[in-house]
Structure 1
Amino acid sequence: MSNGQPQEIINQFCILYERTSRHGYPGFKPSLQPRLKRRMEKLVQLHPEWHSSDYVDYFWSLINQESLPESEQQFAHLHLVAYLDASRCHFIRQFARKFPFPLATCLHFFDLTTDVLYNRDQLKKIIHGHNANTSNAANLKTYCEGALKNIILEQINWESDWHLLCNVDLTSRRKFNNAAQKLREALFRQGITEPLVSHYCFAWHYFVPIYKNNRLYHPSQRKSRTWVQPEQTDFEETAREYNINRFLADAPLQVSSGSNVTAQMIQQWMNTCIQALRNSQKLVELSRDADSYEKHYDQSVNPWQTLESAQYSAEFINQITPSLQAQLQRIEQNLDKIRSKIPLQFRKAVMPLCYPHELSLLVQAQFAKKVGVNQGTVARYIANTYKSPLLTQMDSLIRTQLDNDLDVWSQNYVTEFLSKRFANPNQSQEVDKALMVAIESLAPHLQLLLKLRYGQKYSIDTIVDYLENESSDTIEKKLNLIRHNLEIAAIETLNQLKISYIEQLIKNHYKQVISDQLVTAFSEIKSRKIMKMRYAHRMPEEKIARLLPKENVSQAINQAKQQLQQALLQWSYGTYGISLDPEKDQISQAVETWLNQLYCLDLNELHSGEQYNV
């Protein structure tokens, strides 16, 4: 065969490099690729004398035969896509290098061209254009590259700043919300914080449909191929919608404060949003992780800042933790004095062996079966013996810190929230977030009262004039009822914080008990160097084998794991008289979990002794 070996021909028409697009025309299932290969193998057997161009002509004829079944046309289409795909991928990578931020540009170009190739009608237009030229024209792959290049350049010329801001599908709530989240993330990356982010996003919510209706869908604009500059009327309409709707129940609390916005403010905000989106695109090559930038760009605040103010110490947590740990030790020393069906000799084993955390060796049901009680007995033992005294101790510490009871604290907290943070709640404080949820659950007319009273700082008399159908006494009663509900939400959240903190403290304490046993056992392993390379430094076994060619790396790692597992088995039986042999798989999983945390453990032993080159 003069045009390559049979296998090369088969590969040309069955390997798809880019099968899907993140938007636009959907790709085909990867499971179709083996079927493409089988079909090509049969075709090559039938026509061994054919060249690549012959197969192109054959598939081209198939997709133009309307009488054929849809499945046959689909497969012919995919064979042609496969023929063009490798060349397309190479062309896109080379072409993207001519633009700033080539990685992000390359991904964008892949999307554009994938949407074209996987659209059968679009591909037919390209091939038809190639066939309509003279015999001296370039081959199909080169012609296709030129056609795709023109499509890319046309799209670049078509896009504008307002395309970047307003190219949103208004018919899909999910897509619109995703675009809103993308804008929020971009604004946080730009260094903009609340309440401005909520102001900008709320304005954008109304600007996009107004702009698209006036500039894209309007009869006078339909023939325009570009995203034109907005006009003053667009900003004026957006400002009007913003001011009318900012007191609605679904509007963010941040937009209910301050005076009315103007068209000039909306224009400035939208330009700021465009700049944030452009800068966000430039960062794509550094990180494609789009997880909640709000978390990264808000200052992290300890949840227990809830209890702190100017007159209280910021070291509250540092003070209460030692006190709770001392209480935990007192509990451990007096286990024989409590009432429980758990035998005395097994009581000290409950928390180290089966309190749930990452390194737990048993679950409660397994422990209960081993010591001859039911699971409920173990659960009550943990709750009554450990959690209840620790919560009592913490209640006492909190009351001392607050210097008053929780009712007074909740009243003061809600008062401060409404007067100082209503329009910009602290997203890092759990109580603030709980109050926001409580406000969002109120009836719309009650939310409006709050927004007028604390967002606009209206007096009761002004609210009466604004609403017209409410008396001052009625408004006062409703506001007092709302405050009472918010105070209850604050107390409930604080109580939940206490429970969560106690649970985390117990988890950390008994997780450390298991970790200490493994640290001791690890120090006695001969292959510590290999284990540190594998787990502390995250080296693959192949690389370790190259660095230490005389060592059997895989065998050394397996033996070390077995030693760590055996150490836990011996510790459990020797300390508590409980055999964990039937649960070896769970012990193995706990060891693996601990090893995978070696890189973040602050252990001098892990970084002493052996030296090696990396």
Structure 2
Amino acid sequence: MSNGQHQEIIDQFCILYERTSHKGYPGFKPSLQPRLKRRMEQLVQLHPEWHTDDYVDYFWSLINQESQPESEQQVAHLHLVAYLDASRCHFIRQFSRKFPLPLATCLHFFDLTTDVLYNRDSLKKIIDNYKATTTHVANLKTYVEGALKNIILDQINWESDWHLLCNVDLTSRRKFNNAQQRLKEALLRQGIREPMISQYCFAWQYFVPIYKNNRRYNPNQRKGRAWVQPELSDFEETARAYNLNRFVANTPLQVSSGSNVTAQMIQQWMTSCIDALRNYQELVETSRDTDSYEKHYDLSVNPWEIVESDQDSDELINHVTSSLQAQLQTIDQNLEKIRSKIPQQFRQAVMPLCYPHELSLLVQEQFAKKVGVNQGTIARFIANTYKSPLLTQLDSLMRTQLSPDLDSWSQTYVNEFLSKRFANPNQTHEIDQTLMVTINSLDHQSQLLLRLYYGQNKSIDTLVEDLAYESTYTIDQNLISIRSELQRVVRETIHKLQISYVEQVTRAYYKQVVSCQLLTALSRMKLRKILKMRYAQRMPEDKIALLLPNENISQAINYAKQQLQKVLLQWSYGNYGISLEAEKKQVSKVIEIWLNQLYCLDLNEKNRRETPYV
């Protein structure tokens, strides 16, 4: 045999393409690759006349000899896996194309067949069956492909739509909660909204153990290994559990509202859950294949969206934000009139340099040492000079826009929440969320009263009998007390939102001050193209080097960062008289954060924007 043929044989028995295994023989380690290659080179020198089948027989004999050391059997096993691995990879790629989700299916089949190949007993059994055949119509690789195909088909037959819905570990609360969260996200992506999501998930948590007990674990009902179709009795039992537990403590409000459910409703809900999970898998496959930077489904909204009309809400937010920004400018221009121990020449530096946002260059303690005061003086200066006036103005603006009487507004809000949204609270609304938490923290009797009165629309006379109250007057007083508590929660939430919003606007305002310095400097730099490719387009340095072969990319990026660092150092000292030479590392971290936040995504925007904060 020629040297080329010998090298081809060596490669066949020492190169592995799949390196992970979950259940069987431990996964292939890259450090074993040289060992396998050296062993094959030695065998080729010892037996230059051997062909491929001779090596297969040799390694097969080793794993069949119990007298061989374990290390020898392991290496022989890996040589056989390497011989079969390339054809296995090709077969799976081709076979996966016949299924609706080829990428996800391919990955699943890789995992499944890897567990077979890396399990020595499983692979030995397949080869033993091949050797036992009297006539070898197919070669070993083709035979193994057929065996793997049968294993895959058995797994497909074992799995079903109900496997997709009910294959949940009931012994682990964490895994069960993760599965429930996955179901919620799938329903959300499917376009299903509250109250249906809570009702579906509440039914699901009872259906899963009922189905598994009746169909999976009951020896009289099991049919092979398949996840069989549920029967009507499973849905009837789930409906009974749903109706029996819908008023227990900590049950979602959406579940306790409305009428009792039926077995047909449960069946329809579970079918909808299966459809959502199936489509959710398809979305995950697409995002993995086309976009490595997945965007999570986000329903967060501005906490001040408490006006029913979206247009009115946007106008309110814009009006409030612009008013607060104008107030910040006014305060900055009149700092010399403020009573404070901070020297006047340093007062304008407090907010741009050390107010806590992502681009702050100093912390309060560092700034205090630089200007010769203690940290408490800085904190009081920020609270009294900025936060307090802004909170006062924001409160005035909200009273003007919503209601001059906050008590009256909170009462109206609670009444509308209970009468209109009790069964379906706005999950993304801060005040509704807080009210839901408060209701769930009430004693069980109070929760039950609300669920029946507002969720079921039962009359007070009926509730006197159902809940064994003394009189309608007692129920009225309890409802008044509960509504009063909810109104107090609304007022407290409004105040917390005001504080949060003031901090949000202030952070954004002074963060923009620092950002504008960097953006202005970057727009004038010759190296901005490289920075844009690296940070805005997320290109690795080696790829940029291929596009710009005449540039030293790493050196250029470091030089650009040094220039941006120099800009901030000069700006701090030139505008405020504060030297940041001792904090160069902090400044470098700020620049790295700024670049990663894609502030340089579109430098041409700089020419069309004004920078009123500088």
Q: TM-score range by the shorter chain?
A: 0.7 to 0.9
User: Deviations for 1:564-585, whole angstroms, at most 9, x for unmatched residues?
Assistant: 2212111111111111112222
User: Deviations for 1:88-113, whole angstroms, at most 9, x for unmatched residues?
Assistant: 22321121122233112212212322
Letter in 2 for 1:17: E
Structure 1 residue runs of 5 or longer lacking an equivalent are 609-614
1:23-38 counterparts in 2 under 5 A? 25=23, 28=26, 32-34=29-31, 37-38=34-35
Letter in 2 for 1:352: P
| Contact residue 185 and residue 294 of structure 1 kept, 8 A | no
In the alignment, the residues of structure 2 paired with residue 498 and residue 362 of structure 1 have an alpha-carbon distance, to the nearest angstrom, of 26
Residues 1:499 and 1:97: Cα distance change in structure 2 (over 3 Å) = same
Residues 1:525 and 1:167: Cα distance change in structure 2 (over 3 Å) = closer
Residues 1:48 and 1:402: Cα distance change in structure 2 (over 3 Å) = same
1:332-343 counterparts in 2 under 5 A? 332-343=332-343
| Contact residue 19 and residue 27 of structure 1 kept, 8 A | no
In the alignment, the residues of structure 2 paired with residue 26 and residue 505 of structure 1 have an alpha-carbon distance, to the nearest angstrom, of 56
What SS does the corresponding residue of 2:284 show, helix, strand or coil? coil
What SS does the corresponding residue of 1:306 show, helix, strand or coil? coil
Say whether 1:604 aligns with 2:601. no
Residues 1:224 and 1:554: Cα distance change in structure 2 (over 3 Å) = closer
In the alignment, the residues of structure 2 paired with residue 509 and residue 253 of structure 1 have an alpha-carbon distance, to the nearest angstrom, of 40
1:215-294 counterparts in 2 under 5 A? 215-288=215-288
What SS does the corresponding residue of 2:306 show, helix, strand or coil? helix
Structure 2 residue runs of 5 or longer lacking an equivalent are 610-614
Letter in 1 for 2:31: P
| Contact residue 460 and residue 475 of structure 1 kept, 8 A | yes
Instruction: Single out whichever of 208-217 and 350-359 deviates more from structure 2.
Output: 208-217
In the alignment, the residues of structure 2 paired with residue 19 and residue 560 of structure 1 have an alpha-carbon distance, to the nearest angstrom, of 42
| Contact residue 348 and residue 576 of structure 1 kept, 8 A | yes
1:414-453 counterparts in 2 under 5 A? 414-453=414-453
TM-score for both structures, normalised by structure 1:
0.86
* 1:49 alignment partner, one of 46, 49, 60: 46
In the alignment, the residues of structure 2 paired with residue 294 and residue 427 of structure 1 have an alpha-carbon distance, to the nearest angstrom, of 17
Counterpart for residue 182 of structure 2 = 182
Counterpart for residue 577 of structure 2 = 577
Percent same amino acid at aligned positions? 67
User: Deviations for 1:238-257, whole angstroms, at most 9, x for unmatched residues?
Assistant: 22111111112232211111
Deviation of residue 424 (structure 1)? 0.9
In the alignment, the residues of structure 2 paired with residue 508 and residue 143 of structure 1 have an alpha-carbon distance, to the nearest angstrom, of 66
In the alignment, the residues of structure 2 paired with residue 131 and residue 369 of structure 1 have an alpha-carbon distance, to the nearest angstrom, of 83
Instruction: Single out whichever of 202-211 and 41-50 deviates more from structure 2.
Output: 41-50
Instruction: Single out whichever of 49-58 and 301-310 deviates more from structure 2.
Output: 49-58
Residues 1:107 and 1:231: Cα distance change in structure 2 (over 3 Å) = same
Residues 1:591 and 1:488: Cα distance change in structure 2 (over 3 Å) = same
Residues 1:563 and 1:309: Cα distance change in structure 2 (over 3 Å) = closer
Counterpart for residue 203 of structure 2 = 203
Instruction: Single out whichever of 69-78 and 360-369 deviates more from structure 2.
Output: 69-78
In the alignment, the residues of structure 1 paired with residue 608 and residue 406 of structure 2 have an alpha-carbon distance, to the nearest angstrom, of 48
Counterpart for residue 612 of structure 1 = none
In the alignment, the residues of structure 2 paired with residue 68 and residue 409 of structure 1 have an alpha-carbon distance, to the nearest angstrom, of 84
Deviation of residue 524 (structure 1)? 3.0
In the alignment, the residues of structure 2 paired with residue 535 and residue 311 of structure 1 have an alpha-carbon distance, to the nearest angstrom, of 35
In the alignment, the residues of structure 2 paired with residue 380 and residue 565 of structure 1 have an alpha-carbon distance, to the nearest angstrom, of 30
Residues 1:369 and 1:129: Cα distance change in structure 2 (over 3 Å) = farther
Deviation of residue 155 (structure 1)? 2.1
In the alignment, the residues of structure 1 paired with residue 356 and residue 388 of structure 2 have an alpha-carbon distance, to the nearest angstrom, of 17
Residues 1:316 and 1:534: Cα distance change in structure 2 (over 3 Å) = same
Instruction: Single out whichever of 442-451 and 12-21 deviates more from structure 2.
Output: 12-21
In the alignment, the residues of structure 1 paired with residue 470 and residue 120 of structure 2 have an alpha-carbon distance, to the nearest angstrom, of 64
User: Deviations for 1:335-387, whole angstroms, at most 9, x for unmatched residues?
Assistant: 22223232221111111111122222222222222222232322222222211
Deviation of residue 413 (structure 1)? 1.7
1:92-491 counterparts in 2 under 5 A? 92-134=92-134, 136=136, 138-288=138-288, 295-296=297-298, 301-306=301-306, 315-468=315-468, 472-491=472-491
1:472-511 counterparts in 2 under 5 A? 472-511=472-511
In the alignment, the residues of structure 2 paired with residue 17 and residue 521 of structure 1 have an alpha-carbon distance, to the nearest angstrom, of 49
In the alignment, the residues of structure 2 paired with residue 474 and residue 67 of structure 1 have an alpha-carbon distance, to the nearest angstrom, of 86
| Contact residue 215 and residue 230 of structure 2 kept, 8 A | yes
In the alignment, the residues of structure 1 paired with residue 133 and residue 608 of structure 2 have an alpha-carbon distance, to the nearest angstrom, of 70
In the alignment, the residues of structure 1 paired with residue 413 and residue 426 of structure 2 have an alpha-carbon distance, to the nearest angstrom, of 13
Letter in 2 for 1:341: K
Counterpart for residue 17 of structure 1 = 18
Deviation of residue 145 (structure 1)? 1.8
Instruction: Single out whichever of 127-136 and 335-344 deviates more from structure 2.
Output: 127-136
| Contact residue 425 and residue 432 of structure 2 kept, 8 A | yes
Residues 1:547 and 1:358: Cα distance change in structure 2 (over 3 Å) = same
In the alignment, the residues of structure 2 paired with residue 162 and residue 192 of structure 1 have an alpha-carbon distance, to the nearest angstrom, of 20
| Contact residue 17 and residue 86 of structure 1 kept, 8 A | no
In the alignment, the residues of structure 2 paired with residue 10 and residue 404 of structure 1 have an alpha-carbon distance, to the nearest angstrom, of 82
In the alignment, the residues of structure 1 paired with residue 532 and residue 33 of structure 2 have an alpha-carbon distance, to the nearest angstrom, of 47
User: Deviations for 1:203-243, whole angstroms, at most 9, x for unmatched residues?
Assistant: 22222222232233333322434333322222222221111
Instruction: Single out whichever of 138-147 and 73-82 deviates more from structure 2.
Output: 73-82
Deviation of residue 420 (structure 1)? 1.0
In the alignment, the residues of structure 2 paired with residue 538 and residue 43 of structure 1 have an alpha-carbon distance, to the nearest angstrom, of 43
What SS does the corresponding residue of 2:321 show, helix, strand or coil? helix
| Contact residue 14 and residue 36 of structure 2 kept, 8 A | no
Residues 1:519 and 1:10: Cα distance change in structure 2 (over 3 Å) = same
